[in-house]
Amino acid sequence: MVFLSRDGLARDCRAYRQSAYRRRGPAWRVRRDAKRGTTSIYPSVWRESDCRSHFIIWRNEVYLFAPDFELREISETLNGVESLFPEVRGHVSKVGTIDPMILAESLNLDPWEIVMACEALVNRGELTRSETDTGHYKVR
């Protein structure tokens, strides 16, 4: 796999790391949605050298983030996020925390859909990001 950097030069993917690498080792997951004809990669990709970019690949789209960007800035603008609120609320009320990848697998959804629903619920004050487990959410 090759990515184009901000300077337009192709870079080998071995120079990239996963955002969760330090926590649980390499764990990129590729999800293909046959209905939509799209592909997503979870978790995010961080460039450790050169351009130091941070991005997600979700539904064939690449979202490139500035260093101070937060997912909540786009979570409310996405169609369909609200429809996941009951599932997310139900899961967190039973388990106490949400790992987007595990919940997405149990619901046969894209992990980014769960992340965006969680971020929208963070914006509404219903959830908070876990301080001890990066990428997880819990009841506020």
Instruction: Give the three-state DSSP class for 42.
Output: strand
Please, which pLDDT band fits residue 135 given cuts at 50, 70 and 90?
A: confident
- 77 pLDDT tier (thresholds 50, 70, 90): low
Does position 138 have pLDDT exceeding 50, yes or no?
yes
Pairing outcome for strands 97-98 and 10-12: unpaired
Tell me the domains of the chain and their CATH numbers: 1-69 (no CATH), 70-140 (1.10.10.10)
Strand partners, 17: 46
Residues 22-54 pLDDT 10s: 445 556 888 888 888 999 988 888 777 777 778
The structure's pTM equals 0.71
